[in-house]
Structure 1
Amino acid sequence: MIRYKKLGYVELTVTDLDRSTDFYRNVVGLEPAGDGPDGERRFRCSEDPYAVALHKADQPGFKRGGWMVEDERQFETLHRRLKDAGVAFEQLGAAECKARGLGRATRTVELNTGATLEFYLPPDGAKPQPFEPTIAKIQRLGHVVWTTPHYDKAIAFFRDVLNFAASDSIGDGITFFRAFPNPYHHGIGVGRGQRNQFHHLNFMVTEIDDVGRGLARFKVRNVPIVFGPGRHPASTSVFLYFLDPDGLTLEYSYGMEEFPEVDARAPRRLEPVPLNIDSWGSSRDPRMTAVGEIVPYKIAGAA
């Protein structure tokens, strides 16, 4: 059984680094954390060294995400499960780990969504770095969601190989997973779609007022608001979806159901009706999730 602590970072591709740096700092409320080894711009929203990295590319989308595991023992279980499933993986070298602020990491590609996934530990002796919120009281990086036409196979992989725990699904269209034993309702979501695509990235805020202030700030800055404000019945979160300058979908949310490690309730299957997406009844803008490639990556030696 693989045990996780949290979703630690998500790395995106954008077409204009300067424009996106201004947006993620002055509109979203992230704190710049310097450049990475490949020139990517890094940002913080917690005590971690970085939570979001932006890479320059021709197409905006999802490059990779990293989940912090509980301890060194988890790598043995992770590697065994991936081998048993016939899924290639690689362990990051010491130089890359050092350059990116990681202690140890393994990388694989989820073959159904095409998403590059990393599992890591911070360096030995790493200390939390104080984070002071600015225009938004962001609590943490919340979750990332992808869509794929290989929905059932992707669900099985995250559940049966990676030991993500299903919390709920809405019809046969999307399933929400938590990174067990992390208590929050979901750290990833996998949706059914016509092609492999990045759906959205979420930031959890500490006050419902942050959702309201964000709504006002986005209107002043002419940021497209594409869904909400509303409330997701599955997680109980109050949400607000908006677009970054490239059209990638981002989300602020406040509040979320938390699960105990032992004797957690069984996952539910909610009917795929509009009020099970938003109990407040708001409507989605068609621009929501219209943009978002998944950057391909090939593991060395993979077939």
Structure 2
Amino acid sequence: MTERLITHLRHVDLAVPDYDKQLEFYTTMWGLEPEIAEDGLAFLAAAGSPEQYSVRLRRAEEKRLDLIAFGAATSADVDALAERLLADGVTLVTRPERLQTPGGGYGFRFFDIDGRTIEVSADVAVRRHRKVEEGEAVPVKLSHVVMNSPNPEAAVAFYSKHLSFALSDTLMHPRMGEMMWFLRTNRFHHSVAIARGPHVSLHHASFEMRGIDEYMRGTGRLLRGGIEKVWGPGRHMAGNNTFSYFLDPHGNTVEYTTELEVLDEDSWHPHLYDFSDPMVTDQWGTANPMEEFVARKSFNDPDRGCFVAPPV
């Protein structure tokens, strides 16, 4: 594996037809803070995160995943990664340049193998953040993003070869074969995962809560608010993290989680978990069964933004 130049996940950017409804959901219900919200563009921060924002919403005629952004340690690493991708024939959307988004920085964008726009940046100003207090049921940070792919083996190979992500674990089913791959770019069990799906789309975006109590309080707030629950509450085996999945107003799945496993990368060996075993999907046995309803909701709508860079 080549040198790992990506350090962490920064933010996920969504294009949404009903911008006002989405903004209301992600602030009032989900618990993100609007750093900037004007002219149909909102940058929403997680209270405990030094990242300038964890979610960007953009008003658009059609729903899509605009981009997924990652961090690098230095501008030199940004340049090195861009050169590496160019040499490997990866399509760059932009060359490394100064960024005009909140916090500035230096970065570039490219298409992954499925046509998603990916951004990598360094030297972004640290946001003034705070310690999330006991009982506060608001996201601490963006934890991970899971993507659907009709050719997940190729997508996993792309992220492993070009971006040096490492495989943590894989989910399989006796009839369907391997179905989900968990990939890490630091010691956390996964920053991204690739799921086998019928089309390219966002599977879900996950947000870390302070602890179990805050995770359950947040889950309860959404249930009382009438937000459609897809799956949970429970605890996965792969990653050992808690999960409660809900749908935002445009049908994107978003998750509250906590206690994602931190690995010793020198000694870790990936598992192949059979998710027909109920203990694999939910160690607690408290969530609704992992069946067709959950899978169908997680497929999301086909992303029509593939190989089309977002306008901002």
- Could you say whether these structures have the same fold, taking a TM-score greater than 0.5 normalized by the shorter chain as the test? yes
* Alignment-derived partner of residue 43 in structure 1: 44
* Alignment-derived partner of residue 183 in structure 2: 177
Please list every run of 5 or more consecutive structure 2 residues that lacks an aligned counterpart in the other structure: 173-177
Which of residues 284, 288, 291 is equivalent to 2:300? 291
Which of residues 233, 236, 248 is equivalent to 1:232? 236
**Structure 1's 100 and 137: CA in aligned 2 closer, same or farther, altered over 3 A?**
closer
Report whether the alignment pairs 1:267 with 2:277: no
1:50-129 aligned within 5 A: 50-89=53-92, 90-94=94-98, 97-111=99-113, 113-123=114-124, 126-129=125-128
**TM-score, structure 1 normalization:** 0.88
Which of residues 185, 189, 193 is equivalent to 2:193? 189
Residue 243 (structure 1) shift: 0.8
C-alpha offsets along residues 159-190 of structure 1, whole Å, 9 cap, x if unaligned? 111101111111211100111xx211000000
| Matches of 2:219 and 2:40, distance apart in 1 | 32
1:79 aligned counterpart, secondary structure: helix
* Alignment-derived partner of residue 146 in structure 2: 145
| Matches of 1:62 and 1:293, distance apart in 2 | 10
* Alignment-derived partner of residue 169 in structure 2: 168
Residue 127 (structure 1) shift: 3.9
The more displaced of 279-288 and 202-211 is 279-288
**Structure 1's 39 and 133: CA in aligned 2 closer, same or farther, altered over 3 A?**
farther
Residue 56 (structure 1) shift: 1.4
**Structure 1's 293 and 264: CA in aligned 2 closer, same or farther, altered over 3 A?**
farther
| Matches of 1:277 and 1:264, distance apart in 2 | 24
| Matches of 2:15 and 2:308, distance apart in 1 | 17
1:213 aligned counterpart, secondary structure: helix
| Matches of 2:130 and 2:307, distance apart in 1 | 32
Residue 200 (structure 1) shift: 0.3
* Alignment-derived partner of residue 175 in structure 2: none
Contact map agreement 1:28 1:136 (CA 8 A) in 2? no
Contact map agreement 1:3 1:70 (CA 8 A) in 2? yes
| Matches of 2:78 and 2:273, distance apart in 1 | 34
1:18 aligned counterpart, secondary structure: helix
Residue 251 (structure 1) shift: 0.2
Contact map agreement 1:60 1:248 (CA 8 A) in 2? no
Contact map agreement 2:142 2:207 (CA 8 A) in 1? yes
2:297 aligned counterpart, secondary structure: coil
Residue 99 (structure 1) shift: 3.9
| Matches of 2:101 and 2:118, distance apart in 1 | 18
1:210-225 aligned within 5 A: 210-225=214-229
* Alignment-derived partner of residue 156 in structure 2: 155
**Structure 1's 57 and 293: CA in aligned 2 closer, same or farther, altered over 3 A?**
farther
2:128 aligned counterpart, secondary structure: coil
| Matches of 1:192 and 1:19, distance apart in 2 | 30
Residue 12 (structure 1) shift: 0.8
The more displaced of 211-220 and 156-165 is 211-220
Amino acid at match of 1:217: R
Residue 277 (structure 1) shift: 2.0
| Matches of 1:273 and 1:41, distance apart in 2 | 40
RMSD: 2.1
Contact map agreement 1:199 1:292 (CA 8 A) in 2? no
Amino acid at match of 2:127: P
Residue 71 (structure 1) shift: 1.7
| Matches of 2:301 and 2:121, distance apart in 1 | 25
Residue 296 (structure 1) shift: 2.7
1:289 aligned counterpart, secondary structure: helix
1:98 aligned counterpart, secondary structure: coil
Contact map agreement 2:78 2:96 (CA 8 A) in 1? no
2:78 aligned counterpart, secondary structure: helix
Please list every run of 5 or more consecutive structure 1 residues that lacks an aligned counterpart in the other structure: none
1:173 aligned counterpart, secondary structure: strand
Contact map agreement 1:149 1:196 (CA 8 A) in 2? yes
| Matches of 2:270 and 2:104, distance apart in 1 | 33
Residue 103 (structure 1) shift: 1.2
The number of equivalent residue pairs is 290
